[in-house]
Amino acid sequence: MARTIYRWDEKNQKLVEVGGDYVPNNDSRNNIVSDLYMDGVRATDGTDIGSRRKRKEYMKLRGLVDADDCKGIWEKARKERDDFYSGNWDTEARRRDIVESMRELKHRR
């Protein structure tokens, strides 16, 4: 089964089928992405975290996580904040605690 190869024709703004002898232009837009962007990266305390493995170990040892790992937690906290600001958070037990605290303050004087 032969593969069909297409390239983007900038002039006509569409994909154009090319022949089997097509060799892509190796300009700067075709660079391979790697972990080199992490080379020489250091944490705020000076620890080298210049690779994925080093960064993962550093974060694990210090109990750190990425923001992406907290999506479910943030949604739950947002719901709790919404309840708080809408007035649905007040409970009878909280009211009793407040009354008792005020009584203790009165008796101290």
pTM for the whole structure: 0.42
Q: Across residues 65-88, what is the average pLDDT?
A: 86
- Which helix (DSSP H) or strand (DSSP E) does residue 5 occupy? strand 5-9
**Predicted local confidence at residue 59, as pLDDT:** 94
Higher confidence at residue 57 or residue 71?
A: 57
Greater model confidence, 90 or 43: 43
Q: At 71, is the pLDDT very low, low, confident or very high (cuts 50, 70, 90)? A: confident
CA 74 to chain centre: 12
CA 80 – CA 107 distance, rounded (Å): 35
Question: Does 32 have pLDDT greater than 70?
Answer: no
